[in-house]
Structure 1
Amino acid sequence: MGKLGRFVCIAAPLLLTLASLICQVLVFMGQLNRNSAIQRDLYFFKANTKDFNPKPLSDIPDIPHTDTDNRLINALQGVSTSASLKDFYQVGLWNYCEGEIDASGKDTIVYCSPRKASYWFNPIEVWEFKDITPDQIYNDEMKKGIDAYSKVAKFAFAAWVIAAILTGVEFIVGIFAVLSRWGSVVTTVVAAAQTIFIIAAAGSSTAIYLTLAGVFRSVLAPYGIKAELGANMFAVVWLAVICSVAAGFFWLISICCCSGKSPHKKVVVEKAPYTYERVASPYLGAQQSGVESHAMAPVGGQGYGGHGAAYEPYREQRV
């Protein structure tokens, strides 16, 4: 029962580690295959440009750098006129996908960009603004937001990769934790490092896309461009974090509990020192070994050890 109990104790964190790894794989798969419904619905950020209108949909208060805003809108108008501006753009960890929205409101992805490590969504490249630099087209708010997003996106990508590698290592090492507590110690150390990186990855991803969506809403919402976060993607992201934290906790518990040793041990009774054992009679042999000893008076005046002695001989045994 010892090994069985150890296996049951390790099963919970092992399954949680596997669940976290599956969630991370889904994060990596988002937007990689436009023909997969699951991957299509997994995105960090979505910009809906179908209702773009170069004329403001509402009154815009006077704000600094209005001329810069106008240059951005004029550039977007030129792209929309040439049909280069798609109806929506979805951003994943490796790339982005773009598509069209029909009259019924159904989304159809028509193109996904090649995979790229440390990817970040660059509107100037995606919207094909030619011979335009960020300083020429962005106001201060949007420029700061895009710059921060591009830098943190690289960190977030690296954190996701490291977290996924550590999760795989944690799962493999965790299998050997069934054998001993030392396995749990090693797995707990790996799990602690993995938890740090996955929290960093999830936190930075959430922060940068919240920032990006806020910038789009404040600058481009008056012109009919909508921005939203991917609810499905962030649900998977934070589910991976929850599973990782829970697995780390159970790995730590497994160090102190469920040793894997059987609770039933053979008890050896040792004799106390200076006890006496009965010596079999040389006359009666082993038959006398079960007879109780009795002290009897000597007969015929023979002392202890004599031929007529009635005393039963004993020998001293030191243990």
Structure 2
Amino acid sequence: MGKAGRVACIFTPYVLTIASLICIIMVGLGCTKASSSTLNNLYFIRLDIQNISSAGSKTTTEIENILSEHGITSVTANDVSDVLSKLQDDSTLKDFYSIGLWGHCDGDISNNKYTTDSCSKPKSEYYFDPLQVWGLDNDAVKDELPDDYAKIMNIYKAVSKWMFIAYVLAFVTTIVEILVGIFAICSRWGSCVTTLFAVLAFLFITAASITATVLFSIVDSTAGGLLDAYGITFSMGKNMYAATWLAVVFSLAGTLFWLFSVCCCSGRSPYNHKGRERRGAGMAAEKAPYTYEPLGAGAVPYGHQHTTSYPPPAANEYPMTNANHNGHTNAYEPFRHV
């Protein structure tokens, strides 16, 4: 298979790698531009606080049972109500907050329609701190929070940092994979190197996707189950998770096809000059039909009668031929008789 076949062989993994890169870029662009409805719908999790109420729709006993189910024993239902009452009285709060990779967006809700007003400035290793965003990071509010709040936020911050780094590494290795993939056209060694970067890109994007899914699923199941009674709801961003897991699928498929190009689809043409010489060396020329052959071992082939040799052959060296005194053979080769 020649160069054309080699190009066709790596076309599929190249397209899959580009598709994975596009999905990773979409994840990174989520919640970065308030004027783009497409990017505003790319979020990991969204907090809806338009119906926040400090009273709650459940009794004090039910709230405390929910807290104990999640291992929170240092806070009471009254503590939760006190903090939420301050939020309820704050007129600067938005109706919803969408959390992305680089920041968050906020806006208002009208007739079940979400309208984004602003987005935070993109920041590396971003994590959503509700008290800081809502302007409640003062000592009065922190004193009413449970002792475990700081520990939980530290864990959330560390996991968010790792998730951000994993996405960045996935983006960088995928870019390198695309650039190195150009050399895969030339040889299988190029495919081998490209496959190594493809494996790294797949591992990083998979780790990032798993981290994001697990992290915000835990937030949704724990905080969402508790704060739902106070009118605060959480929703997972389906578009964001679709993008990140499509990146995983494309990256995996591209890795498998890059590996296939290492084993198959050589770029060397079977019709090169050296190959012809090697094959021609062991092949005898086919004889054309209706040709003459000398009868005797020492007979001269037809057409060589006028070949001069030095020294001249002896008179009896070629039987059934006539040699003149100059050594030239002018005789003919007789036909074979049946």
TM-score, scaled relative to structure 2 = 0.78
Measure how far apart 1:133 and its partner are.
8.0
Secondary structure of the residue aligned to 1:263 is coil
Deviations, residues 235-263 of structure 1 (Å, cap 9, x unaligned) = 00000011011111110000011001223
2:213 to 195, 206, 215: 206
1:182 aligns with 2:183: no
What does residue 151 of structure 1 align with?
158
What does residue 295 of structure 2 align with?
294
Q: 1:233 to 1:71 in 2, by over 3 A?
A: same
CA distance in 2 between partners of 1:138 and 1:181 (Å)? 60
Q: 1:133 to 1:212 in 2, by over 3 A?
A: farther
Deviations, residues 38-71 of structure 1 (Å, cap 9, x unaligned) = 1110000101101111112133254454755433
Secondary structure of the residue aligned to 1:227 is strand
CA distance in 1 between partners of 2:49 and 2:174 (Å)? 38
1:268 aligns with 2:275: no
Secondary structure of the residue aligned to 1:47 is strand
What does residue 100 of structure 1 align with?
108
What does residue 284 of structure 1 align with?
none
CA distance in 2 between partners of 1:18 and 1:160 (Å)? 16
Measure how far apart 1:98 and its partner are.
1.0
Equivalent residues, number = 289
**Does the CA contact (< 8 Å) of 2:53 and 2:88 recur in 1?**
no
CA distance in 2 between partners of 1:79 and 1:134 (Å)? 10
CA distance in 2 between partners of 1:312 and 1:81 (Å)? 129
What does residue 238 of structure 1 align with?
245
Secondary structure of the residue aligned to 2:281 is coil
Deviations, residues 177-227 of structure 1 (Å, cap 9, x unaligned) = 011111001101111111111111111111111111122212211111101
Deviations, residues 134-164 of structure 1 (Å, cap 9, x unaligned) = 8634447766544332210000001111110
CA RMSD between the two structures: 2.6
Secondary structure of the residue aligned to 1:177 is helix
Deviations, residues 287-307 of structure 1 (Å, cap 9, x unaligned) = xxx75222399xxxxxxx631
**Does the CA contact (< 8 Å) of 1:145 and 1:211 recur in 2?**
no
CA distance in 2 between partners of 1:215 and 1:222 (Å)? 12
CA distance in 1 between partners of 2:241 and 2:36 (Å)? 18
CA distance in 2 between partners of 1:168 and 1:113 (Å)? 27
1:35 aligns with 2:38: no
Measure how far apart 1:312 and its partner are.
8.4
What does residue 223 of structure 1 align with?
230
What does residue 77 of structure 1 align with?
85
Deviations, residues 99-119 of structure 1 (Å, cap 9, x unaligned) = 1111x1111112211111100
Give the letter for the 1:37 counterpart. Answer: S
Greater mean deviation of Cα atoms: 32-41 or 62-71: 62-71
CA distance in 2 between partners of 1:49 and 1:307 (Å)? 121
CA distance in 2 between partners of 1:50 and 1:215 (Å)? 20
Measure how far apart 1:82 and its partner are.
2.5
Deviations, residues 8-45 of structure 1 (Å, cap 9, x unaligned) = 11000000000010011111100100101111100001
Residue segments in structure 2 that go unaligned for 5+ positions in a row: 285-290, 299-312, 322-338
CA distance in 1 between partners of 2:320 and 2:194 (Å)? 66
What does residue 286 of structure 1 align with?
none
CA distance in 2 between partners of 1:72 and 1:84 (Å)? 20
Secondary structure of the residue aligned to 2:219 is helix
Give the letter for the 1:188 counterpart. Answer: T
TM-score, scaled relative to structure 1 = 0.83
1:56 aligns with 2:56: yes
* Identity percentage of aligned residues: 36
1:111 aligns with 2:99: no
**Does the CA contact (< 8 Å) of 1:90 and 1:98 recur in 2?**
yes
What does residue 168 of structure 2 align with?
161
Secondary structure of the residue aligned to 2:209 is helix
What does residue 303 of structure 2 align with?
none
2:257 to 235, 250, 253: 250
